[in-house]
Amino acid sequence: MLKYPKDLLTLIAHLKKLPGVGKKTAERFAFSLLEWDNKELFEFSEGIATLKERVQACAECGCLMDGVQCSFCDTSRRDKALLCIIGSSRDAYAIEETGNFRGLYHVLGTLLSPLEGKTPDSLNLPHLEDRIKQLGVEEVILALDSTLEGDATSLYLKEELQKNGIEVSRLALGLPLGSSLDFVDEGTLSQAFSGRQKF
């Protein structure tokens, strides 16, 4: 049986690493790329090669920046009394789509998972506590995935933050158990924000 050329197999192997992309889809993508003209392929490959240089996380909040300034940290346009803690920078965009939240964000970047070696030290709690003090945050909203890891992280953060007298609430209403925020629709997420409860 004939095999695809080596370079095409390498491309297919890379494409299969993308979430939700299996062997057949990766093959379709690879053959589609063969039909692109050289200029499109160059722009695509350059975009991938420089992605991590051009799109970086804000050192303050952890959200993605477009250029050198973080639009998520602009306190002139946002309510600094509210701080929403999220698991990944992608979650900020899902929340922004609802139009219900005008506070600031703090990206944890990881959730507690002792089996994977992700302990409370991975959460960088001192940085979070410093931000809360500097901004004068009055309420922290925990918007973590409704999974075992997300629930464990929320419980841990609640206990730690309440020691410092911080009001802590958590998204409620309609978030299915075991769900990831990026799979939740705008309406459900919007309802979860407005129906958040003290935690």
- Whether 175 has a pLDDT exceeding 80, the answer reads no
Q: Would you list the domain boundaries of the chain? A: 6-49, 56-198
Please report which confidence band the pLDDT of residue 163 belongs to, taking 50, 70 and 90 as the band edges.
confident
Architecture of the domain delimited by 6-49: Orthogonal Bundle (1.10)
Arithmetic mean of pLDDT, 51-68: 89
The answer on pLDDT for 38 being more than 60 is yes
| pTM of the predicted model over 0.85 | no
Q: How many residues does the chain have?
A: 199
Report the first-to-last Cα separation within the chain, whole angstroms: 61
Q: To the nearest whole number, what is the mean pLDDT of the chain? A: 87
What is the rounded CA–CA span in Å between residue 103 and residue 157? Answer: 19
Tens digit of pLDDT for each residue in 91-144? 999 999 988 899 999 999 888 888 888 888 888 889 999 999 999 999 999 999
Q: What is the pLDDT of residue 198?
A: 65
Give the CATH architecture of domain 56-198. 3-Layer(aba) Sandwich (3.40)
